[in-house]
Amino acid sequence: MAHPKRKTSKSKKRMRRSHNALHDKSTSVCSYCGETIISHRVCSGCGHYNGRPVLKSTDEA
**61 part of a folded domain:** no
**29 part of a folded domain:** yes
Q: Do 44 and 38 touch, CB atoms closer than 8 A? A: no
Total count of domains within the chain: 1
Q: Which of 32, 30, 33 is nearest to 41 (CA)?
A: 30
**42 part of a folded domain:** yes
- pLDDT of 60: 53
**50 part of a folded domain:** yes
Q: What is the pLDDT of residues 7-22, one digit of tens each?
A: 999 999 999 999 998 9
**28 part of a folded domain:** yes
- Give the chain's count of helices (H) and strands (E): 1, 4
- pLDDT of 56: 80
**33 part of a folded domain:** yes
With DSSP H G I counted as helix, E B as strand and the rest as coil, what are the percentages for the chain, rounded to 5? 15, 15, 65
Q: What is the pLDDT of residues 12-59, one digit of tens each?
A: 999 999 999 898 999 999 988 999 999 999 998 899 998 889 988 555
Domain that holds residue 36: 24-56
**6 part of a folded domain:** no
- pTM reported for the whole predicted model: 0.56
**44 part of a folded domain:** yes
Q: Which residues pair with 6 in a beta bridge?
A: none
